[in-house]
């Protein structure tokens, strides 16, 4: 027995230096081991061992510069005029962590702040076609919501998605993703995600003196997490076409509206957005000339909107109440794109949303756009869009978007 223990101890002693040599310079008891990289063989810092200054396994870095020049003309009282802006500077990195996981982060700086938009790990070690994604990432809801705005076909996300889901919706959570084939030409993918909070960024932009703030509790029971689900299938259509159909949902089981001046709150509210999307793409034999048609219908259900009731002293906000509207609101967008070569394409998109309140107008938006790719990483887009409201307060916008992609750019976007 004692011989066995001595043998095991010797074996451990022989093994330990190799393990510790790849850890930090000094490790105190109870601290987790931090992996480090290897130095380049033959370089001045090549000690033959891993150390904290080695950079050979650094991730792939990239950045994106997305700038916009636009001119807005309103028929009503809204702000208009011209503007030049660096819409966003995106900085990203991605790398394999080990054979069954890769990770990435995306930080975005706009004119005012820097935000971590995504930071997640894709774990592929479950076998089969399953993936677990954990961290912060854009929701898998509909055809477009996984995509950052600067990568869309259009200058902005369609009006129907902006209105019912948000311009960009990310959450801290966990998502299971998988796919299977149902024939030689058809694959089906699904995902289910649970998040702490899927309210869009725009909820922070409200005026607290006149509008109720939307909020979700930080800590909650599991059933009150925010959820997403998507089921999509795509299939070959002949030799040159692909059709994709999908259905999605985003569920907020419990949230609240709070009006700061009076302290009034409407709690235990819920909201679910359903989506149905279809996209058809066709390309010629060269793969360079293509048509793409698509659309998505969005249904916003449950507690959809809040207003402030001035029931007490007129003009005094301290006794105002939060009135919540429960309704079913419809919206949709459709588009057609045509690319006549590798570098040039045009498109037209129309989107419409139903008003949440009786007496307020439905809104529609039409956008025409031309995109020129100087190269795969260098894009110029010219767009004209018009927003029409039933109350006649229309606006027109002309925009030039200039975007460059530097480095190994990519996100964890699923098909």
Interface with another protein (CB under 8 A): 124, 128-129, 179, 181, 183-187, 234-236, 239, 242, 281, 283, 285-288, 341-343, 374-377, 415
Minimum separation from the CB atom of position 123 to another protein (A): 13
Q: Token pair of 98, please?
A: 């080990």
Judge whether 172 and 133 are in contact, CB under 8 Å.
Answer: no
Nearer residue to another protein within complex by CB, 86 or 408: 408
Nearer residue to another protein within complex by CB, 235 or 330: 235
Which contacts qualify for 257-260: CB closer than 8 Å, 24 or more apart?
257/212, 257/213, 257/214, 257/215, 257/306, 257/322, 257/324, 258/212, 258/213, 258/215, 258/322, 259/211, 259/212, 259/213, 259/308, 259/317, 259/320, 259/321, 259/322, 260/208, 260/209, 260/213
Minimum separation from the CB atom of position 266 to another protein (A): 44
Minimum separation from the CB atom of position 401 to another protein (A): 20
Minimum separation from the CB atom of position 406 to another protein (A): 8
Minimum separation from the CB atom of position 280 to another protein (A): 13
Q: Where are the alpha helices (DSSP H) in 37-188?
A: 159-164
Q: Token pair of 241, please?
A: 């076409």
Nearer residue to another protein within complex by CB, 245 or 384: 245
Q: Where are the alpha helices (DSSP H) in 192-290?
A: none
Question: What is the DSSP secondary-structure string of 272-323?
Answer: EEEEEEEEEEEE-TTSSSEEEEEEEEEEEEEEEEEEEE--SSTT-GGG-EEE
Q: Is 17 left (phi over 0), alpha (psi -120 to 50) or beta?
A: alpha
Nearer residue to another protein within complex by CB, 15 or 370: 370
- What's the CA gap between 227 and 79, in Å, rounded? 36
Q: Are strands 290-309 and 50-51 parallel, antiparallel or unpaired?
A: unpaired
* Alpha carbons within 13 A on the beta-carbon side of 300: 21
Nearer residue to another protein within complex by CB, 43 or 129: 129
Minimum separation from the CB atom of position 233 to another protein (A): 8
Judge whether 225 and 195 are in contact, CB under 8 Å.
Answer: yes
Q: Token pair of 395, please?
A: 């606006």
Give the other-Cβ count within 10 Å of 169's Cβ: 23
Nearer residue to another protein within complex by CB, 267 or 341: 341
Sequence length of the chain is: 415
Minimum separation from the CB atom of position 368 to another protein (A): 23
- What's the CA gap between 242 and 232, in Å, rounded? 13
Q: Token pair of 63, please?
A: 């950045």
Minimum separation from the CB atom of position 232 to another protein (A): 11
Nearer residue to another protein within complex by CB, 348 or 373: 373
Nearer residue to another protein within complex by CB, 75 or 344: 344
Minimum separation from the CB atom of position 170 to another protein (A): 22
Nearer residue to another protein within complex by CB, 52 or 372: 372
Minimum separation from the CB atom of position 235 to another protein (A): 5
Judge whether 383 and 365 are in contact, CB under 8 Å.
Answer: no
Nearer residue to another protein within complex by CB, 7 or 375: 375
């Amino acid at each position: 027995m004692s011989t066995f223990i001595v043998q095991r101890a010797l074996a451990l002693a022989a093994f330990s230096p190799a393990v510790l040599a790849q850890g930090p310079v000094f490790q105190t008891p109870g601290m987790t081991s931090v992996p480090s990289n290897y130095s380049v063989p033959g370089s001045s810092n090549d000690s033959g061992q891993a150390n904290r200054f080695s950079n050979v396994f650094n991730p792939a870095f990239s950045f994106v510069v997305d700038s916009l020049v636009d001119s807005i003309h309103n028929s009503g009282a809204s702000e208009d005029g011209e503007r030049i802006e660096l819409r966003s500077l995106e900085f990203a990195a991605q790398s394999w962590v080990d054979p069954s996981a890769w990770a990435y982060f995306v930080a975005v700086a706009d004119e005012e702040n820097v935000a971590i938009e995504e930071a997640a790990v894709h774990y592929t070690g479950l076998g089969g076609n399953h993936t677990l994604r954990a961290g912060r990432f854009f929701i898998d809801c509909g055809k477009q919501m996984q995509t950052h705005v600067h990568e869309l076909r259009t200058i902005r996300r369609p009006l129907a998605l902006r209105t019912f889901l948000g311009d960009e919706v990310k959450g801290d959570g966990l998502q299971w993703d998988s796919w299977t084939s149902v024939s030689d030409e058809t694959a089906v993918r699904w995902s289910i995600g649970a998040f702490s909070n899927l309210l869009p960024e725009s909820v922070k932009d409200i005026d607290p003196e006149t509008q109720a703030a939307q909020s979700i509790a930080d800590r909650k029971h599991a059933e009150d997490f925010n959820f997403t689900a998507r089921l999509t299938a795509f299939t070959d259509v002949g030799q040159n076409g692909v059709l994709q159909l999908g259905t999605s949902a985003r569920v907020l089981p419990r949230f609240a509206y709070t009006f700061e001046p009076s302290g009034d709150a409407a709690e235990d509210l819920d909201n679910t957005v359903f989506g149905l999307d279809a996209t058809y793409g066709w390309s010629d034999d060269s793969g360079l000339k293509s048509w793409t048609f698509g659309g998505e219908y969005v249904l916003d259900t449950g507690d959809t909107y809040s207003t402030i009731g001035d029931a007490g002293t007129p003009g005094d906000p301290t006794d105002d109440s939060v009135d919540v509207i429960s309704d079913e609101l419809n919206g949709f967008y459709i588009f057609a794109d045509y690319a006549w070569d590798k570098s040039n394409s045009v498109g037209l998109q129309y989107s419409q949303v139903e008003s949440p309140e009786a007496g307020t107008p439905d809104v529609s938006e039409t956008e025409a756009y031309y995109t020129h790719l100087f190269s795969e990483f260098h894009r110029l887009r010219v767009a004209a869009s018009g927003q029409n409201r039933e109350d006649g307060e229309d606006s027109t916008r002309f925009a030039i978007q200039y975007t460059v992609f530097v480095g190994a750019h990519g996100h964890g976007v699923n098909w």
